[in-house]
Chains A and B, each alone.
Chain A
Amino acid sequence: MSVATPPVQGAAIPSPFVAVVGYTLRACLPAKRWFGVLLPCVGALLFAWITQAVDSEDQVEAFAEISRQGLFGLILPLACLVIGDAVLGADARAGTFQLTWLSPVHFGTIAVGRWLGGWIVALVTVVPAFALGAVIAGMPEAVGPMALAAAGGSAAYIALFLLLGVLVKRSTVWSLAVVLVGERLVGGELSGIGQISPMWQAQQTFAGLWDEGGHYILRDGMPDSWAAIVRLAIVAVVCLAVANWRLARMRPLSGDD
């Protein structure tokens, strides 16, 4: 640089990967987004509280059903949609993604860095909320399975929504369609869809690992517990690989587009 030296000494410059993760946490998830993530987390706690409030003979069965319908069927996809859309789709729509695209950084580094940034947010919001939900519901033995299922499910979901952010312009609408139509409606009937659905695989993880009440919601013909975790990891890796491929063919929008 030819400009005069200023009196201030700057801090060390991080590696591109660390910078991408840091950018994701700072720029992609501003205060409004955090509010959007925390709202479903509060919803998770309320769902768990319903277990205590409902007049049911079998509290374990009630919590299992609430986990299936409320936590894994609604809260997990919604919270992850807010995060997953923020890490790339919203950035691309705003025209600010060109800042990252116009760099020599490998697209794989960008995809994984963005995903990791999003997953970190899920690990400090969604996962504790799900674990706390189990405590509130009076099922402390379900804390571990619930946390593991939420962590695995959010990893796969954020990768999926990141991929949709690269593939389509209206990524929020497509993400909702995938969850509501693809996973809930079609995936509920066709186990083939459920095999690759983060929603169903997260639920299977929980059901397989929760000895007391998992059998109430365990779905036949699909992997459960650790096998479901592996399935979630495969979904995340495949989504990130396709996102990496797609990023090279992407036409990043400008702010005027």
Chain B
Amino acid sequence: MSNPAVPLPSPPLPPPPPDQLDPAFVNDATVIASGVSIWFGHKVAVTELSCSFGPGVTGLLGPNGAGKTTFMRTICGLLPPNQGTIRVLGRDPRTDRAAQHDIALVPEDDAVPNALTARQLVRYTAALHRIADRNAPEQCLHGVGLLDVADRKVAGFSKGMRQRAKVAAALVTNPSVLVLDEPLNGADPVQRVALIELFQRLGSEGRTVIVSSHVLHEVERLATRQIVIIRGRLAAAGEHRAIRDSLADRPRSVLIRTPDPRRLAADLLALESVQGVTIDGAGLVVTSPRAGDLAEALPVVARKAGARLREVRPLDDSLESVFRELLR
């Protein structure tokens, strides 16, 4: 009698061999996601995401609601993947408590124990991770510029200060893998620079630093390698220049302000890279399927038409529009 066919669960996808490495994977991976899918009821947050992270800073990009936070929480073990596997330094962060020795998360949300002072918060995290160096909390508070206010309750902190307190609490555990969910939210410009330098230094020390953001230029400053997630799927991966180059010719609208928009409009319409032109007061809104070509041609056309360009500004340069194009 033959046994009835039993569907076997599909094994997790192994990372590709180094000689044929996909840009979503790195050779010296410390965090490996293999075919990860996560859903909440009928809502799918992450779909068959396979990628890896290695030492250094990697940016995790995506518009709001793309699944970045869910993916990061899964990397840390807070959520189990419904399908696929996550391995952090070869261990399952969800089931292997020892894996938590190596992971630290700076969550995006504002949930910090308000009754604690910054020092108590950092010392609590240090105690949970059995950090023996009694000076480590002070060093971390000093590192994020909170030592002077370390005995103030976190409840009285600004959003940026809370964020820095969370960063200090994460750093005190001396993690190999640091997961930062929108860590620059609320930080003032000076602190942004300091935090970016700190994260870069941590990356250069050989730690795996994963930083999420929906602000493209911020991640560009932080990380050379980026993973782009859109609607829970991997949309692009690799060095940020490669991603930007691939976006150069996406259709976009550009606002051009000039004293004589009609004269310039006629000449622009003759260009192959221009799809349409709308005159809007003292400005022109030019739609172009190949923004790169338009950028090259515009100064030449303006010089020929004798038009002075007062302002040239992309109208749809938000990351969301960039991501929409990536998804096509």
Contact = CB atoms under 8 A, between A and B. Distances in A.
Interface of A: 1-6, 8-16, 18-20, 22-23, 26-27, 30, 91, 94-96, 98-107, 248, 251-252, 254-256
B137 A10 contact: yes
B139 A19 contact: no
Nearest to A93: B111
B131 interface: yes
B181 to A, nearest CB: 9
Contacts of A9: 134-135, 138
A1 B101 contact: no
Contacts of A12: 134
A254 B125 CA distance: 17
B201 interface: yes
Most B Cβ at <10 Å: residue of A3, A102, A252: A102
Interface in B52-103: 69, 73, 76-80, 95, 97-101, 103
B132 A4 contact: no
Given A4-B142, A254-B69, A255-B107, A103 B129 contact: yes
A104 B100 contact: yes
Interface of B: 69, 73, 76-80, 95, 97-101, 103-105, 107-116, 120, 123-132, 134-143, 147, 169, 171-172, 174, 198, 201-202, 205
Given A10-B123, A96-B112, A98-B78, A105 B135 contact: no
A149 B114 CA distance: 34
A14 B78 CA distance: 25
A13 B120 CA distance: 10
Contacts of B120: 26
15 contacts: A1-B136, A4-B139, A4-B142, A9-B138, A18-B127, A20-B128, A23-B116, A26-B120, A27-B113, A30-B115, A94-B111, A99-B125, A99-B169, A104-B97, A254-B73
A64 to B, nearest CB: 40
Given A15-B130, A102-B78, 12 more contacts: A1-B139, A4-B139, A16-B127, A18-B127, A22-B124, A91-B113, A102-B76, A103-B100, A104-B97, A104-B98, A251-B79, A254-B111
B113 A99 contact: yes
Nearest to A30: B115
A10 B125 contact: no
Most B Cβ at <10 Å: residue of A26, A104, A252: A104
A94 B115 CA distance: 13
A102 B99 CA distance: 10
Given A16-B128, A102-B100, A251 B143 contact: no
Contact of B107 (A15, A251, A254): A254
A98 B107 contact: yes
Contacts of A13: 123, 126-127, 131-132, 134, 136-137
Contacts of A3: 139-140, 142-143, 171, 198
Contacts of A11: 123, 134
B78 A8 contact: no
Nearest to B93: A102
Contacts of A256: 69, 108-109
Contacts of A102: 76-78, 100, 103-105
Contacts of A254: 69, 73, 78, 107-109, 111
A1 B127 contact: no
A2 to B, nearest CB: 6
A25 to B, nearest CB: 10
Contacts of A98: 78, 105, 107, 111
The 10 closest A-B pairs by CB, nearest first: A255-B111, A3-B143, A255-B109, A95-B111, A19-B127, A6-B142, A103-B128, A27-B113, A30-B115, A104-B100
